[in-house]
Each structure stands twice: as C-alpha cells, then as structure tokens.
Structure 1
Amino acid sequence: MDSDLFLVFGLVLAGLAFPSLINAFSESRAPKAAFFLFAVSGVMIAIAIFQKPSGYSFQDIPAAFVRVFSMMVN
C-alpha cells in the first residue's frame, strides 16, 4: 500500500474518532471506540511517515489527499 494511502486513511480515521470521543465524554461513558480509532490512525500515520524517506510536511498533506482521490477515481 502506498504511503499516501496510509497517511490519508489515518487522518480520516482520526477525524472520525474525534466526534466519538466527544460523544462518549458527554454521555459519561468510556471512550473505547474512540481510543481504538485513535490508536489505529496513529499507527497508520506512523507507517506512512516511516515508509517515505523524506517524511511529510504540512504542505504535503493536501497534495497527498489529491493523489489518493485521483487514484481512487481513476
């Protein structure tokens, strides 16, 4: 799998975990699903960073989203 895919999917999972975390805290229950999603997204982002020798900067993230989207559409 391409490192851009790992980065984009990791960031999307982290974005999906945040509302789950807020919901769990507002209902006074353990945020088990949110912690699991954050852990998986962290591992995916770490894999993406270690697979790309030069690493990622903040300017590379939108380009990675565009490359992944164009790969999925094509």
Structure 2
Amino acid sequence: MDFDLLFVIGVTMAAFSIPAFMSAFSDRRGPKMALFMLIAGAGAAYYAMSQNPAAYSVATFDDVFVSVVAKYLN
C-alpha cells in the first residue's frame, strides 16, 4: 500500500469520526467507535507523513487526495 493511499484513508477516517462523535454525544452514549476511528485515522495519516514528510502539507493535500482518487478509479 502506498503512503498516499494510507494518508487519504487516515484523513477520511478522522473526518468521518466527527459526525460519529456528535451522534454519540447527542444520544448520550459513549463514543467508542468514533474514538477508535479517530485514533486509527490519525495513526494512519501520521505514519504516512512520517515515512514521507516532504510530500504532505496543507498546500498539497488536495493534490494528494485527487491523485489517489484518480489512480484507483482509473
């Protein structure tokens, strides 16, 4: 698995954990799955960034995301 894909999966998992947190808190239950998603997503993104630190920044995030989607849909 290449690091770009791992980075995109990690950021996507972390982003999807935010609505899961909101849902868990509004239903007055523990956000166990949301916390797992956040930790796994942040860990995956951190691992990809630590293996290739020059490739990932705020300015290049959209380029990485689009290139991964194009690579795996094409």
Secondary structure of residue in 2 paired with 1:59: coil
How much identity, in percent, do the aligned residues show? 34
Distance in 2, matches of 1:34 and 1:73, equals 28
Q: How many residues align?
A: 74
1:71 equivalent in structure 2: 71
Structure 2: gaps of 5 or more residues: none
* Aligned Cα root-mean-square deviation (Å): 1.1
Q: Deviations over 1:24-67 (max 9, x none)?
A: 01111100000000010011011110111425210110000111
Runs of 5+ unmatched residues, structure 1: none
User: What SS is found at the alignment partner of 1:30?
Assistant: coil
Normalization by structure 1: what TM-score?
0.91
Runs of 4+ residues deviating >3 angstroms: none
| Alignment TM-score, normalising by the size of structure 2 | 0.91
